[in-house]
Amino acid sequence: MADQLVVEHLTKIYERGDILALDDISFSVVKGEFLVVIGLSGSGKSTLLRCINRLIEPTQGKVYFDGVDVTAASGGELRRLRRKMGMIYQQFNLVKRSSVLTNVLAGRLGYVNPWMSAVHRFPREDIEMGLKNLERVGISDQAYTRADNLSGGQQQRVGIARALMQEPELLMADEPVSALDPATSHSVMKYLEQMNQEDGVTVITSLHFLSLARRYGTRILALKDGKIVFEGLPSEIDEARFKEIYGEEAEHVEVR
Amino acid sequence: MKDRYYAGFMTQRPAFFTEFSKGLSRIRRRFLVVLTDLFALMYLWTLASYCVNDFFYHVRNFTSLPWWVMLIVAVEVAAFWEAFGVSIGMRLLGLRLRPIEEHRLGQHVVRYILWHISPLFLFRLLWKSDAVPWHESVSGLKTVRASEIAMTPRPWYTRSWSVAAVLIMLLSLGAAMLITKVDFYALSTGAPKMMPLWRGLVSPNWALLGEGVRLLIVTVFMALMATIFAVIIAVPLSFFAARNLMHGVVGQAVYIIVRTIADIMRSLNVIIWAIVFIVWVRAGAFSGMLALFVQATANLIKLYSERLESIDPGPPEAIRATGGNRLQVVIFGVIPQIVNPYLSFTLYQWDINVRMSTIIGLVGGGGIGQLLFQYMRIWDYRSAGMMLLLITIIVWAIDYMSSRLRARLN
Ligand SMILES: Nc1ncnc2c1ncn2[C@@H]1O[C@H](COP(=O)(O)OP(=O)(O)O)[C@@H](O)[C@H]1O
Ligand SMILES: [Mg+2]
């Protein structure tokens, strides 16, 4: 099958502090994969995900999405590419004072008429779609409450519903469960798995815990100091590899 | 890999420039120590001589010596202080001499003498950034971070820097009393003269109630107009004055220009603006309103833009990621976070404007304040009392209202 996402020689240097956050990263992702990116904090996971949809400008390298050069796109073309890539975040990134439904509808912003959205007018189909997606993540009864009245797990599900509104072909999740407790983590990960298996959405997620990565990933990419130190199946990570990725002192922590 | 990028990125600038700036940042702390010591010594000197002059000779004079004599003495004392002990600057910036045990008097003398040629050392830094200043390398007494050496505790009066600190505090207090002519005697003997004023204030001239209320309304609307105009100007400008929203060279330039203008506008007192506008458009409510407007605009730009700078960057990022354009990022990611704080700041500014608008009457800016000062000037304390009563009521009422509303907003 053809590669959906191709990353070539991606390099990011943060001007502030001359930090080499990504160092010549190349990999590709096939449609329908569930790719997990692991690594210590500071290894460059967030930077990598944000360079793919250019929330952060890469310093060098290329990103191709469905054969289109994302790194060369600009203006409207970039926005059209971005709406095909849903994204969810460690800190949920919801507008806390707005209602859950408004937050979810924000996922349609790439599609709707900008002038109508400026006065918060959304097409009827979009509102129905929003309610349907809220139902799908199990919080349809909360549609009109303020986002900050929800628990962490519920807020992340709003984030997932917002991403679903984009009708994405690729879903990127930046440590989606790091701010959640273990039980809630699994319920959130299950939704990602569901999107991956039922809707055929490609998923790239960074995760802190290797146990979660093994449980959900079809492939694992390990970063260390901005370089890829491992790429392969979850089962291939043995004790030696683990130490290489996480350092000599690391211990296994299980999240069930 | 790493080396390749670093080599490519770091060697853009000429080598001697990087060396020099590295060297400068290394000796920056020592330089600040000297400045601090000089400042402390000159300050001590001025205050001491002011007190002596005032107390013994009854002349108000800060110093009887030319400034360059003071400067030379201060430089010498500072050098001595830094070579022989812990000066106040070393203490404040956390530097010490080492070694503290096993040192000879001669080392200190050498350090003191060579200290005088240390400005030449700046040239040395041009090609060797990690060079050690001569007064340290030759004498063997190095300047090090205080955290690197243990200090034995000693009573405060045996430490030169703490004696200096205490002296600075005491002299400041003494000189402040002399300079502001604190006179407790006048405070007590002058009290009876206050009686007519008090009497006027407790029995206000009710005949002026109508006139007073009319001017009070003028005052409140002056404040309201000024606030509304200020909001119209400040809301859009605050986006240009928020560092996190202004990217690129053009953005940075706009940011600096807007900030600077707002800072200048804010640093001039509202009374000064009133005087400016009285010259411009004649005395009256309009000039007062304009003065309040300028002040309020500058204030609101600062309050608004600081709020903008502290918003959560997450929601705007999420909107960008959905494919939203710049307008949508602002409307869905930024504005929901700032609406309530903006309203709250606006109410607060209106509250301030009402209070200020009474003061502006002092210089002829119209409103009830102007009448108050007219009656004060002709010693009609009963009429003045009426105006003061009205001002107190309105200021209290608006303060109460705005704080209640603001509490609801937060
Ligand atoms: N905006 C930034 N400016 C400068 N350095 C940054 C910035 N964001 C991240 N970094 C640095 O880049 C490196 C990688 O960070 P990040 O991608 O956040 O790693 P991770 O998500 O794996 O914790 C870290 O060393 C971090 O300090
Ligand atoms: Mg991260």
Q: What token pair was written down for A141?
A: 């009864």
Q: pLDDT by residue (tens digit) across B74-115?
A: 999 999 999 988 899 998 998 888 876 777 888 999 999 999
Within a domain: B195: no
Q: Is the pLDDT of residue B15 over 70?
A: no
* CATH label of the domain that carries residue B226: 1.10.3720.10
Within a domain: B190: no
Contact B178, B50 (CB under 8 A): yes
Q: pLDDT by residue (tens digit) across B310-335?
A: 999 999 999 999 999 989 999 999 99
Q: How confident is the model at residue B125 (pLDDT cuts 50, 70, 90)?
A: confident
Please report the domains of chain A, with CATH numbers, ordered by start residue: 1-84+169-256 (3.40.50.300), 96-167 (no CATH)
Within a domain: B196: no
- Ligand found nearest the CA of A178: 2
How many domains does the structure of chain B reveal? Answer: 2
Residue B36, amino acid:
T
Q: Would the CB atoms of A82 and B321 count as touching at under 8 Å?
A: yes
DSSP summary character for residue B333: I
pLDDT at residue A115, rounded to an integer: 87
Within a domain: B322: yes
**Residue from A18, A93, A158 whose CB has the most chain B CBs within 10 Å, to mutate:** A93
If one residue of A14, A43, A56, A90 were mutated to test the ligand 1 pocket, choosing by the most ligand atoms within 8 A of its CB, it would be A14
B7 touches chain A (CB under 8 A): no
Ranges assigned E (strand) in B41-122: 95-98
Domain end position, chosen among B122, B154, B172 = B172
Higher pLDDT, B302 or B17: B302
Q: Is the pLDDT of residue B10 over 70?
A: no
Please give the residue range of the domain that contains residue B68.
2-172
Q: pLDDT by residue (tens digit) across A105-134?
A: 999 999 998 888 888 889 999 999 999 999
Residue B189, amino acid:
T
**Residue from A95, A100, A104, A156 whose CB has the most chain B CBs within 10 Å, to mutate:** A95
Among candidate residues B164, B135, B159, B111, the one with its CA nearest the CA of residue B27: B135
Q: Is the pLDDT of residue B249 over 80?
A: yes
pLDDT at residue B315, rounded to an integer: 95
Distance (Å, whole) CA B92 – CA A215: 56
Q: Would the CB atoms of A87 and B315 count as touching at under 8 Å?
A: no
Q: Is the pLDDT of residue A173 over 60?
A: yes
Query: Which residues in chain A touch residue B322, judged by CB atoms under 8 angstroms apart?
Result: 82-83, 86-87, 106-110, 162, 165-166
pLDDT at residue A49, rounded to an integer: 96
Same domain for B113 and B18: yes
Our measurement of the distance from residue A27's CA atom to the centroid of its chain's CA atoms, rounded to an integer in Å, reads: 17
Ligand 1 within 6 A of CB of A12: no
Same domain for B385 and B270: yes
Q: Is the pLDDT of residue B229 over 60?
A: yes
Distance (Å, whole) CA A201 – CA A192: 9
Distance from CA of B321 to the nearest CA of A (A): 6
Higher pLDDT, A136 or A245: A136
CA distances from B47 to A131, A206, B14, B92, B170 (A): 74, 64, 48, 21, 10
Same domain for B218 and B156: no
pLDDT at residue A255, rounded to an integer: 57
Question: What whole-number percentage of chain B has pLDDT above 90?
Answer: 42
Distance from CA of B323 to the nearest CA of A (A): 4
A44 touches chain B (CB under 8 A): no
Distance (Å, whole) CA B178 – CA B51: 7
pLDDT at residue A154, rounded to an integer: 94
Among candidate residues B348, B355, B356, the one with its CA nearest the CA of residue B392: B355
**Residue from B322, B325, B344 whose CB has the most chain A CBs within 10 Å, to mutate:** B322
CA of A18 to the centre of ligand 1 (A): 11
The pTM (predicted TM-score) of the whole model is: 0.73
Q: What token pair was written down for B260?
A: 């600077």
Same domain for B121 and B234: no
Residue A75, amino acid:
G
Same domain for B287 and B140: no
- Ligand found nearest the CA of A37: 1
| Phi/psi of residue A96, nearest 5 degrees | -65, -35
| Phi/psi of residue A18, nearest 5 degrees | 45, 50
**In chain A, which among 89-118 make CB contacts under 8 A with chain B?**
89, 91-98, 102, 106-111, 114, 117-118
Domain end position, chosen among B172, B193, B226 = B172
Q: Is the pLDDT of residue B5 over 70?
A: no
- Ligand found nearest the CA of A90: 2
Q: How many CB atoms lie within 10 A of CB B251?
A: 13
List, as ranges, residues with CB under 5 A of the ion ligand 2.
A 46
Same domain for B132 and B218: no
Contact B334, A93 (CB under 8 A): no
CA of A162 to the centre of ligand 2 (A): 20
